[in-house]
Structures are given as C-alpha cells and as structure tokens.
Amino acid sequence: MTTLRGCYTAIVTPFSADGATVDFDLLEEQIAFQAAGGVSGIVPCGTTGEAPTLEFDEHREVVTRAVEVGHHHGLTVIAGAGSNCTAHAVKYQKLAHELGADAGLQVTPYYNKPSQEGIYRHFMTVADAVDLPIVLYNIPGRCGVAILPETVARLARHTNIIAIKEATGSMDSATEIHQRCDITILSGDDSLTLPFAACGSSGVVSVVSNLLPARVQALCNAFLDGDLEGAKRIHMELFPISRGLLSIDVNPVPLKAAMRLLGRDRGNVRLPLAEASKDANTKISTLLAEFGLARLERVAGA
C-alpha cells in the first residue's frame, strides 16, 4: 500500500521556445531540483503540467521520464491520468500502471457535471479496471462539480482509492471527509497546507514547491512531527508567495513566469492559456524579490 505524506510537487511541463515540443532535458533537470529539495514526490501531467494540451505521445513520454528520473532519486510519482470520459480515464490509468507510476491522479469529470452517483460510478470503473492506487482530485472550481464527502467515503471503501487531493478550499469539506473515512487527505492549495493539517491532512500537492521545494517539505515535516510552532513559522513565511503568486493569473501562468525570472523555465504556456502580461510579470518579480528569491541559472531561450 502506498503511503502519502509530505510534499508532492505538481510539476510543470517545460516547452521548447516555440512551444511546439516538450523540453524533456529541462523536465529532468526540474525533477532533479525537486529531489535535491527533499520533497516526497512529484505529480506530472496534472493541472500545473498543462495535461489537457499534451498529445498522447507527449503525455506518455512525460510520465516515462518522470518515473525514470523520479524513481532514480527516490521520489514517489503520482501521474495525472484523469479525463471527463470514463473510458479515457481508464486508458490513462492503465498507461500510468504500465509506465511504473506509483499512483494515478484522477480528477472529477469536468464539463459533464455528473451527479454524485455518476461521479461514484466513474471512479469505481477506473479503480476496478487496473490495480494501481488512485488519488482522487477534487477541484470544483475547474470541474464545475465537487466530490461530496459522503461520495468520498463510499469511494474510500475500494482498496485502490487511497487518497484525495482536496482543492475545494473548504476546511469544512476536508473535516467531514476526515470524519467519515480514513482516506489520506492532501491539500490542493498551498496557502491551506497547515490549516488542512488541522483537519487531518498529511501533506500537500504543491505548486509553490516548484520554486521552494525544501521549504514546503519542511512545513510538512514540521506538522507531521508535531512541531506546531515550527509549522506556523514556515506557514507565515510561505503565505505571501503561496497566496500572492496564484492570485495574479490562472495556474500555471504565474508559476511559469516566476520560474522564467529565476532561470528555471522559459515561462511559455500552450493555448488556450496565454503567457503572463507585462503587468503580471512586474508583480511576480516584486513578489519574488520580497521573498528573497534571485535568478540562479539561465535556461537556454529564457
């Protein structure tokens, strides 16, 4: 049984200068950077990884490289595998298993707006199809519908459904899930990592850890070790960038812009996302400077 505790970085997908191809060499560098920061694992091909814009062969290769490099560094790899088509979600979950991922991240079907019964049957179909752990991904802001706590509790009875990434922003939802079942809860919002720990979560699927892997992992280590004062200090330290960065534009636009300013990515995204505006870049630059982050290296074409 896979046990999830700590920081799991929702890693970006770096593109070539023209955005036409994935820069796999840079992806491997970014994974190594995460490992050096001591995170528990990585999540390729999620929201932050712009999964909806990846061709099937690109998706396959991103997960392949993430597993190879991640496992080499001792990281757990939770591969994005969800879809609003149940048959496609099964296909991608089987692919994640074939490629050696430790779990698949399965998002609530988006656009369809299924009922709770439809959501339950969707995830159960995926869970029955392949013997690979599932991390549910509850993000109603993007999907238009939430997985309600009572549905999570029903799903948690399946041995393959081991965790949920709660990106509802709701401590009530996280608390009720914790009361109803023993599924592992991971925060889906960096600014709520510590508050969610008070509701029973054991870590975070983090965006900010793309920039600060060691600090986000340190936050998780502190509350998991019972060091509340230490966790509060790190939470307060990270809060301005956790809240500020992702309020500037939709994820991963501001994150990739920040990584470009730090020399860790080219900063480009694929349509229908558009790159950060000049005003947004100014705000991001100021935010990074206030946090004390400086450019460490240069990415070709950045």
Which of 8, 92, 120, 137 is the catalytic position? Answer: 137
Has 92 been annotated as catalytic? no
**Residue of 92, 165, 256, 283 marked active site:** 165
Report d(CA 215, CA 206) in Å as an integer: 11
State the residue for tokens 């939770």: 78
φ, ψ for residue 48 (rounded to 5)?
-65, -30
Annotated catalytic, 283?
Answer: no
CA 256 to centroid of chain Cα atoms: 14
Contact (Cβ atoms closer than 8 angstroms) between residue 19 and residue 52: no
Residues annotated as catalytic are 137, 165
